[in-house]
Amino acid sequence: MSNGVDIEDIEGLADIAEAHTVMLELRPHLATVELFVQQIIRQQAQGYRLTAAWAGQKIVGLVGYRFQESLLFGRFVFVDDLVVTASFRKSGTGALLLDVARRYARELGCKQLVLETGLQKVLAQRFYFREGLLPHALGFAEALGEPTH
């Protein structure tokens, strides 16, 4: 326990469902618990890991991350999701969760920890700078519509 929270990996269906409310703050398009649980299960099958910060029986923060390999970064861990509830921001909980992904990257022999954040998320960017992350690229995306399969 550190900063009043316990850090634990999320694996069971009940804990995944419990994480929905917190993840909804970051990913509002995952509107139902069922959609969220199905998405996490699919991503876990592809190596996604979800770790929670618990204050008592309540999840107050989450980090979702996965190992990848690319020509640009070599072996690296990508942080897909990092969210802390408003009442636990500035408590060090975000830094603890980011450290989970860092440790995982180091355990796998990675030399990079990579994440993306929205250009409009200035407070998140400040947090990442304080944590030693530096901007490296500008990302682009294109909505392709609904899958045809």
| Distance, CA of 77 to CA of 112 (rounded, Å) | 7
**What counts of helices (H) and strands (E) characterise the chain?**
4, 5
- Distance (Å, whole) CA 69 – CA 46: 13
Q: Is the pLDDT of residue 148 over 80?
A: no
Residue pair 93/55 in contact by the 8 Å Cβ criterion: no
74 Cβ contact partners less than 8 Å away, ≥ 6 residues apart = 110, 111, 112
- Residue 101: per-residue pLDDT: 98
Per-residue pLDDT tens digits for 58-113: 999 999 999 999 999 999 999 999 999 999 998 999 999 999 999 999 999 999 99
- pLDDT for the residue 125: 87
**DSSP of 20-46, one letter per residue?**
HHHHHHH-TT--SHHHHHHHHHHHHHT
pLDDT digits (tens, 9 = 90+) for 7-20: 999 989 999 999 99
Tell whether the model's pLDDT for residue 26 goes beyond 70: yes
What is the gyration radius of the CA atoms in the chain, in angstroms?
15
Average pLDDT, the chain: 92
Q: Pick the residue with more confidence: 83 or 149? A: 83
